[in-house]
Amino acid sequence: MPKYTIVVIDDNKADADSLVQHLKEIDDVGHIEVFYDGVQGAKYLLKNKPDILFLDIEMPNISGLELYTLLPEKERPALVLVSVHTEFALDGFKLAAVDYLLKPAKYADVTNSFLRCLKVMNVSVNIYTQYELEYYLFEVKNGYSKIVHFKNIIYITSADNYVDIVTRDETITARITIGRIEKIMPKSYFVRIHRGFIVNFRFAVKVKKSTLILSEGPETELPISKSRKINISGYDKLE
């Protein structure tokens, strides 16, 4: 996947640095430029074309709203406005801002803003395919959240009010029920084969009696319950 370039402009250094730190934790974020002065940030933007701009509204010398209108309309990056106040939200959305973050911005909010920008960019420049754009932000341990790309999930297994999401790289324990996650997952390739299992059929190899054989994962053989067999009947590649 491509990495996306981001510019952060905020005259409050602590707020800007905190935002940058959150952005660095997102896998698809590439190069980040940060400016603590609106005028310097504007000069950079007039010569460069980042993908996404996180922009403080209230700054000395030039406001964020004024700064954004200086940029050629067809070359403006996806905009996320940042402020300690909500009163500027309407003005921001008149400029087609994708999102509006209240300070201090939390990691989950920054991540959601980033994902919203990607969706807007997909409509205009077709960077991502629909499949690649399918994410979900899961609540994990200790109050943190984590983006999971659906295409990397092999299977999901339940554990009371939690699930273990088994991906190609790791197993993630998320605070969500398997019933809820079943409603979230794309129906075109995720199928619930058992009360305790949801499988990404892109990793399925074949059905052997009441067992589904997978090409990857710590467990490559998963049970299929009798009541769920009808769910897999349409997958022609499986025996």
Q: Do residue 153 and residue 217 come from a single domain?
A: yes
**What pLDDT band is residue 94 in, cutting at 50, 70 and 90?**
confident
**CATH number (domain holding residue 224):** 2.40.50.1020
Residue 33 placed within a domain: yes
* The predicted structure's pLDDT at residue 124: 38
Residue 212 placed within a domain: yes
CB 164 within 8 A of CB 139: no
Q: Do residue 170 and residue 77 come from a single domain?
A: no
For residue 48, pLDDT over 90 is answered with yes
Strands 171-174 and 78-83: unpaired
Residue 133 placed within a domain: no
* The predicted structure's pLDDT at residue 49: 93
CB 128 within 8 A of CB 135: no
Total domains present in the chain: 2
Residue 8 placed within a domain: yes
Of 146, 130, 116, 229, nearest to 188 (Cα)? 130
Q: Do residue 59 and residue 159 come from a single domain?
A: no
Q: Do residue 19 and residue 112 come from a single domain?
A: yes
Q: Do residue 14 and residue 112 come from a single domain?
A: yes
Q: Do residue 40 and residue 102 come from a single domain?
A: yes
Residue 95 placed within a domain: yes
Tokens of 137: 């932000």
Q: Do residue 16 and residue 118 come from a single domain?
A: yes
Give the structural domain span for 172: 148-232
Q: Do residue 115 and residue 193 come from a single domain?
A: no
Average pLDDT of the segment spanning 162-182: 90
125 Cβ partners below 8 Å, 6+ apart? Answer: none
* The predicted structure's pLDDT at residue 28: 81
Residue 143 placed within a domain: no
| Dist CA 42 CA 98 (whole Å) | 19
**CATH number (domain holding residue 39):** 3.40.50.2300
- The predicted-structure confidence for 184-194, as pLDDT tens digits, reads as follows 787 778 889 99
For residue 29, pLDDT over 80 is answered with yes
Residue 56 placed within a domain: yes
Residue 142 placed within a domain: no
| Dist CA 182 CA 168 (whole Å) | 20
pTM: 0.54
Tokens of 227: 């009541």
Q: Do residue 84 and residue 42 come from a single domain?
A: yes
Give whole-number Cα distances, 214 to 168, 184, 203, in Å.
12, 22, 5
**What pLDDT band is residue 217 in, cutting at 50, 70 and 90?**
confident
Give whole-number Cα distances, 122 to 26, 74, 97, 207, in Å.
18, 15, 16, 37
| Dist CA 37 CA 51 (whole Å) | 20
Q: Do residue 20 and residue 109 come from a single domain?
A: yes
* The predicted structure's pLDDT at residue 88: 67
| Dist CA 153 CA 130 (whole Å) | 16
Q: Do residue 99 and residue 8 come from a single domain?
A: yes
* The predicted structure's pLDDT at residue 9: 97
* The predicted structure's pLDDT at residue 235: 47
